Amino acid sequence: MHFEIKDSVFWVGKIDWELRKFHGEEYSAQRGSSYNSYLIKDEKTVLIDTVWAPFADEFIEQLSETVDLNSIDYIVANHGEIDHSGALAKLLERIPGKPVYCTANAVKSLKGHYHQDWNFQVVKTGHRLPLGQRELIFVEAPMLHWPDSMFCYLTKSEILFSNDAFGQHYATESIYNDLADPSELWEECIKYYANILTPFNSFVKKKIEEVVSLNLPVSMICPSHGVIWRDDPMQIVRKYQQWASDYADNQFTLIYDTMWNSTRRIAEAIADGINAADPSIKLKIHNAARSDKTAIITDIFRSKGVMVGSPTINRGILSAVGGILEQIRGLSFKKKKAASFSSYGWSGEASAIINDLLAKSGFEPLAQGPRILWYPDDNALKQCFDYGKALVKAIN
């Protein structure tokens, strides 16, 4: 259902209630998502972004009910990723030759995906596109979150179209931030930031400083996923400034996998020790093979320290622990502390392997965690508990 959000600017996107996994199987979208596309009607008509390819036919059919497709003068592709460009090929079959405004890098990603020589119009920061009464001002936003990403700003209406930045994978009929359930909305915002934007913290900070220094009034922020920020739109910008500054709550996360429960018992005994020494620390415990990995990453993002544990198997570590460590490596967390723990029966390489991976991922090392031979007895569990108690000083 298309609707006007302000001054002849229309939401023409698609709410995807069924989505549960995004980026293949990497990102859990338990609350679905939306692909927000916007139509600006002025003396010129502009379409900003499209939707994911499975919804291309539906998108074009509904768009043609809102506007004569031939009257679209310009298309803006703020980002080449498929969830926003997926309907572009079919749309351009209907209205061939229409100019597509995008960054130089988006020409690469769009050509790379669709192998078409569309009428690309490359823009840079500060370029303006007159629409009649208003103008669109383009702002390149490389690494928020791809090199091709771009924002655009509609003068007079004071709307920032920010593409992925400030978005959430969150399907809701209450498309405005002030109508959404705040706990759901903020949970989806931090999950999105933690899992998608963490590696680009420094770019996020610089881009926000740059946009703020332009002194453009912002009455609305329209991202390409989730809610539109119309009530105090800068609140999400302030939150991003906080998150981009190597964010951590008073939280500690333990992640492990286990074969015969030894490693699980160690994790729980360490957590008991931490809790006994400082109950104010929020503790999160995840079996990497069973917990949702998007939730694990969000908990690491919120933590000042983490411990990762595995038994030794085949001189290595369990594959679920290896998998989450690979995700952690790619996200380049900074200013967080970490240590390993492990159980073993014979050779016992797990802790050294985990320590090596944590160090390569940029974590500051904590004292080596327990390495317990076979199943932990009362003495071993006491050792784990005492380690947890002692850890509190190091993580505070």
Smaller CB distance to ligand FEO: residue 148 or 268? Answer: 148
Give the integer Cα–Cα distance in Å for 206 and 215. 15
2 as an active site residue: the answer is no
Q: What angle do CA 373, 378, 384 make, to 5 degrees?
A: 65
What span, in angstroms and rounded, lies between the C-alpha atoms of 83 and 226?
Answer: 13
- Positive or negative torsion for Cα 312, 316, 319, 320: positive
Taking each helix axis as running N to C, give the angle between helix 319-331 and helix 350-360, from 0 to 180 degrees, rounded to the nearest 10: 20
Q: Which has the closest alpha carbon to 304: 238, 393, 370?
A: 393
One of 35, 49, 79, 247 is an active-site residue; which one?
A: 79
Quick check: is 83 catalytic?
Answer: yes
Nearer to ligand FEO, 72 or 150 (CB): 150
Pick between residue 84 and residue 337 the one whose CB is nearest to ligand FEO: 84
> Which pairing describes strands 305-311 and 337-344: parallel, antiparallel, or unpaired?
parallel
**Residue 83 makes contact with ligand FEO by CB under 6 A:** yes
Q: Does 225 bind ligand FEO (CB under 6 A)?
A: yes
> Taking CB under 6 A as the criterion, which residues in 162-181 touch ligand FEO?
164
Selecting among 101, 153, 170, 225, the annotated active-site residue is 225
Given a contact cutoff of 8 angstroms between Cβ atoms, the answer to whether 137 and 153 are in contact is: yes
* Long-range CB contact pairs, 55-58, < 8 A, 24+: 55/14, 55/16, 55/86, 55/87, 56/86, 56/87, 56/89, 56/90, 56/91, 57/90, 58/14
Q: Please answer whether residues 153 and 160 qualify as being in contact, where contact means their C-beta atoms are separated by less than 8 angstroms.
A: yes
* Binding-site size, ligand FEO (CB under 6 A): 9
Q: Residue number with the shortest CB distance to ligand FEO? A: 81
Nearest approach, Cβ of residue 309 and ligand FEO (Å): 33
Tell me: does residue 351 bind ligand FEO (CB under 6 A): no
Give the residue with the Cβ less far from ligand FEO, 84 or 134.
Answer: 84
Q: Taking the alpha carbons of 374, 375, 379, 382 in that order, is the dihedral positive or negative?
A: positive
Only segment of 8-16, 37-45, 75-83, 344-352 that touches ligand FEO (CB under 6 A): 75-83
Q: What is the DSSP string of 34-68?
A: EE--EEEESSSEEEE----GGGHHHHHHHHHHHS-
Rounded CA separation 270/382 (Å): 9
Nearest CB to ligand FEO, comparing residues 87 and 255:
87
Is position 153 annotated as part of the catalytic site? no
Active site residue 257: no
Those residues whose C-beta lies under 8 Å from the C-beta of residue 148, and which sit 6 or more positions away, are 79, 80, 102, 103, 105, 106, 108, 109, 142
Least separation in angstroms between residue 4's CB and ligand FEO is 23
Residue 313 DSSP one-character state: B
Is 38 annotated as catalytic? no
Tokens of 117: 């020589």
Residue 286: active-site member = no
16 lines the binding site for ligand FEO (CB under 6 A): no
> Site for ligand FEO (CB under 6 A): which residue of 224, 312, 342, 351?
224
Decide: is 79 part of the binding site for ligand FEO (CB under 6 A): yes
Residue 36 in the binding site for ligand FEO (CB under 6 A)? no
192 is catalytic: yes
Q: Does residue 73 carry a catalytic annotation?
A: no
- Candidate residues 16, 42, 81, 257; the one interacting with ligand FEO per rule CB under 6 A: 81
Report in angstroms how near the CB of residue 119 gets to ligand FEO at its nearest.
23
Per CB under 6 A, the segment of 8-16, 80-88, 209-217, 241-249 that binds ligand FEO is: 80-88
Of the two residues 250 and 332, which places its CB atom closer to ligand FEO in the complex? 332
For the annotated catalytic residues, the residue numbers are 23, 79, 81, 83, 145, 164, 192, 225
Q: Contact residues for ligand FEO (CB under 6 A)?
A: 79, 81, 83-84, 145-146, 164, 224-225
